[in-house]
């Protein structure tokens, strides 16, 4: 049974209730003195508390999808074993599964679109990563057979899973509904997590002597997708968006690569590369690389591209409000910046689900199919 399955959650809740009732029922028998009674009371309380916390943890994880599987919870990465053949004629994007969208008629791709699970192999970076690609219904309709579509890379936070983007943050369904309502053009979404060299948080940096994560996202990924799907290769064809760490990466990649991405949207993003036990030594003492990882510094000292940015925060509940205001002030023409600032909202899925639909509409308005 999977970590997020109903059976696991129901079993944990039932077990917690049974143990609570057992504690109430057996307590009078364990009230007498003696080491056996004391051990019995301690053991019963301990098991009941652990089971209760497990049930609450499973419920919270099922709601927010912090971990997608038991292997993810235990720090094991099953997807690391994928082998991609780079012989002549092989593709850098390999489809390993498909799933329908949870919408009326979603079983037919021409009605509900399709989510494809893929493995992307980066030629320059050498990174191989699983991802999901959402293809809108129009992609499968005969009248659009020769049309290209705009695309956006979508990243979750650290250490989230790509499934979060489908189940918890509902990117494909929101894109489907917004396009169906005529508020945005049909758009392909390339969804994955920023942790492409697990378990390390690379902050989308090309680490000296380490994973070349920025190269993977900025060069390998869009090139591989454009060669596999009907997506253009010009900057106006590509956007980048994400939440938390993924939001930082989206703004960073769009800022430093205006020749590849026309727009970047950061939901609850921060503006300087984190450096802690999860990242290790990202810059190896290179102060120029460290400064480049500071987006506010880069806006003052880097090249200015014709890029559009969207940043989000909340007046109450988010810690990035000051940085977001500084980012807005530092964006200068020909770049443009937009923002969503909620009255209140924490660093969580509920907040992001209030920002993602208008963020998708904004992104769709900044990209072009041709």
pLDDT digits (tens, 9 = 90+) for 233-270: 999 999 999 999 999 999 999 999 999 999 999 999 99
Cα distances (Å, whole numbers) of residue 346 to 212, 265, 281, 313, 314: 32, 18, 29, 9, 7
Note the pLDDT of residue 8.
78
pLDDT digits (tens, 9 = 90+) for 61-103: 665 555 556 655 665 444 444 444 434 334 688 999 999 998 9
| 130 DSSP β-pair partners | 119
Cα distances (Å, whole numbers) of residue 308 to 98, 139, 332, 365: 32, 26, 11, 10
Superfamily of domain 86-366: Alpha/Beta hydrolase fold, catalytic domain (3.40.50.1820)
Average pLDDT over residues 124-152: 95
Note the pLDDT of residue 81.
40
24 vs 341 pLDDT, higher one: 341
Average pLDDT over residues 344-368: 94
Task: Identify which of 188, 178, 182, 176 has the alpha carbon closest to the alpha carbon of residue 103.
Answer: 176
pTM summary value: 0.78
Share of the chain above pLDDT 70, in %: 88
Note the pLDDT of residue 77.
43
Find all residues with CB under 8 Å of 252, minimum gap 6, and list them: 204, 214, 264, 273, 293, 295
SS3 for 204? coil
Note the pLDDT of residue 90.
41
Average pLDDT over residues 157-164: 90
231 vs 76 pLDDT, higher one: 231
How crowded is the C-beta side of 161, counted as CA atoms within 13 Å? 24
Q: Which two tokens stand for residue 348?
A: 């969580």
Note the pLDDT of residue 71.
58
Q: Which two tokens stand for residue 342?
A: 């909620």
Note the pLDDT of residue 63.
56
Distance between CA atoms of residues 100 and 105, nearest Å? 9
Note the pLDDT of residue 66.
55
Task: Identify which of 89, 84, 119 has the alpha carbon closest to the alpha carbon of residue 190.
Answer: 119
Q: Which two tokens stand for residue 244?
A: 């938390």
30 has pLDDT over 90? no
Sheet holding 188-192, edge to edge: 93-99, 114-121, 128-135, 188-192, 151-155, 238-243, 263-267, 308-314, 336-342
Note the pLDDT of residue 370.
84
63 vs 37 pLDDT, higher one: 37
Note the pLDDT of residue 88.
36
Confidence of residue 22 (pLDDT cuts 50, 70, 90): confident
pLDDT digits (tens, 9 = 90+) for 184-229: 999 999 999 999 888 889 999 999 999 999 999 999 999 999 999 9
Peptide bond into 334 cis (omega under 30): yes
Distance between CA atoms of residues 345 and 352, nearest Å? 9
Average pLDDT over residues 293-302: 94
309 has pLDDT over 80? yes
Note the pLDDT of residue 92.
85
How crowded is the C-beta side of 26, counted as CA atoms within 13 Å? 16
Which residue do the tokens 């809108």 mark?
Answer: 136
> Average pLDDT, whole number, for the chain?
87
Note the pLDDT of residue 121.
94
Confidence of residue 308 (pLDDT cuts 50, 70, 90): very high
Note the pLDDT of residue 260.
95
């Amino acid at each position: 049974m999977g970590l997020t399955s109903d059976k696991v959650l129901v079993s944990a809740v039932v077990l917690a209730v049974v143990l609570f009732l057992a504690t109430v029922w057996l307590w009078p028998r364990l009230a007498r003195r003696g080491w056996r009674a004391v051990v019995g009371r301690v053991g019963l309380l301990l098991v009941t508390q652990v089971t209760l916390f497990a049930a609450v943890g499973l419920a919270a994880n099922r709601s927010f999808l912090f971990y997608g599987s038991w292997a993810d919870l235990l720090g094991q990465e099953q997807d690391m074993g994928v082998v991609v053949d780079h012989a002549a004629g092989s593709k850098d994007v390999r489809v390993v599964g498909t799933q329908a969208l949870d919408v009326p008629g979603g079983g037919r791709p021409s009605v509900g679109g399709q989510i494809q699970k893929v493995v992307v192999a980066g030629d320059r970076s050498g990174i191989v990563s699983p991802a999901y690609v959402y293809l809108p219904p129009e992609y499968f309709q005969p009248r659009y057979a020769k049309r290209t579509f705009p695309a956006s890379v979508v990243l979750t936070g650290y250490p989230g899973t790509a499934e979060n983007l489908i189940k918890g943050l509902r990117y494909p369904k929101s894109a489907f509904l917004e396009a169906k309502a005529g508020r945005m053009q049909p758009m392909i979404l390339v969804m994955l997590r920023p942790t492409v060299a697990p378990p390390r948080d690379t902050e989308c940096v090309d680490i000296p002597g380490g994973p070349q994560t920025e190269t993977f996202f900025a060069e390998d990924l869009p090139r591989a997708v454009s060669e596999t799907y009907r997506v253009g290769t010009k900057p106006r064809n590509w956007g980048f968006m994400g939440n938390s760490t993924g939001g930082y990466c989206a703004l960073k990649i769009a800022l430093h690569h205006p020749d590849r991405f026309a727009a970047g949207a950061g939901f609850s993003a921060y503006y300087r590369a984190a450096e802690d036990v999860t990242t290790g030594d990202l810059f190896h003492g290179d102060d120029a690389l460290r400064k480049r990882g500071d987006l506010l510094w880069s806006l003052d000292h880097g090249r200015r591209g014709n890029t559009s940015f969207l940043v989000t925060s909340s007046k109450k509940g988010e810690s990035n409000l000051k940085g977001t205001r500084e980012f807005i002030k530092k964006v200068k023409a020909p770049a443009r910046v937009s923002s969503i600032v909620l009255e209140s909202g924490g660093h969580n899925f509920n907040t992001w689900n209030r920002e993602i639909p208008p963020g998708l509409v904004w992104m769709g308005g900044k990209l072009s199919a041709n």
